[in-house]
Structure 1
Amino acid sequence: MSDFKIQSVLITGSSRGLGLEFVQQFLTSPNPPQKIFAACRNPDGPQSQVLKNLSEKHQNVIVVKMDVTDPSSVNESVKEVEKHLNGKPLDLLLNNAGILSHTNLESQTSEDMMNVYNINVVGPMLVTQAYHRLMKRAEGTGKSAIVHISAVLGSLADLPSLFSHYQVISYRCSKAALNMLSRCHSLAYKQDGIISIAIHPGWVKTDMGGDQAPLTKEDSIGAVMKVIYSLSEEQSGTFVDWEGKSIPW
Structure 2
Amino acid sequence: MAGVRFHSVLVTGANRGIGLGLVQHLLGMPSPPQWVFAGCRDPKGQRAQELQKLSSKHPNLVIVPLEVTDPASIKAAAASVGERLKGSGLNLLINNAAILKANSLDTETLKDMSEVYTTNSIAPLLLSQAFLPLLKKAAQESPGSGMSCSKAAIANVSSIGGSISSFTGWDVMEIVSYRCSKAALNMLTRCQSMGYREHGILCVALHPGWVQTDMGSSAGHVPPVTVDASVGGMLKVLSSLSEKDTGTFLDWEGNVVPW
TM-score w.r.t. length of structure 2: 0.92
Match of 1:146 in 2: 154
* Cα deviation 1:117-149 (Å, max 9, x = unaligned): 000011111110100010002386353010000
Q: Take 1:134 and 1:35, find their aligned partners in 2: how far apart are those partners?
A: 14
Structure 1: give runs of 5+ residues left out of the alignment: none
Amino acid at match of 1:149: V
Task: Look up the match of 1:201.
Answer: 208
Distance 2:32 2:3 in 1: 14
Match of 1:73 in 2: 73
One-letter code of the match for 1:155?
A: S
Q: What is aligned with 1:185?
A: 192
More displaced, 88-97 or 205-214? 205-214
Q: Structure 1 residue 228 and structure 2 residue 230: aligned?
A: no
Is contact 2:92–2:152 with CA below 8 Å preserved after alignment?
Answer: yes
What secondary structure is seen at the aligned counterpart in 1 of 2:140?
Answer: coil
Task: Say whether the 8 Å CA contact 1:92–1:144 is kept in structure 2.
Answer: yes
- Which residue of 1 is the match for residue 12 of structure 2? 12
CA distance in 1, matches of 2:4, 2:126: 25
In the other structure, the counterpart of 1:102 is: 102
Contact 2:5-2:31 at 8 Å conserved across structures: no
SS in 2 for 1:47: helix
- Structure 2 counterpart of 1:157: 165
Structure 2 portions without partners, runs of 5+: 145-150
Q: Structure 1, residues 43-92: CA drift from partner, whole Å, max 9, x if none?
A: 01100011011111110000000111101100001111011111111000
1:5-154 → structure 2 map (5 Å cutoff): 5-136=5-136, 137-138=139-140, 141=143, 143-154=151-162
Amino acid aligned to 1:115: E
In 2, distance between residues paired with 1:124 and 1:231?
Answer: 20
Structure 1 position 3, deviation (Å): 5.6
TM-score (norm 1): 0.96
Query: Does structure 2 conserve the Cα–Cα contact (< 8 Å) formed by 1:139 and 1:193?
Result: no
Note if 1:248 corresponds to 2:255. no
Question: Structure 1 vs Structure 2: percent identity of aligned residues?
Answer: 46
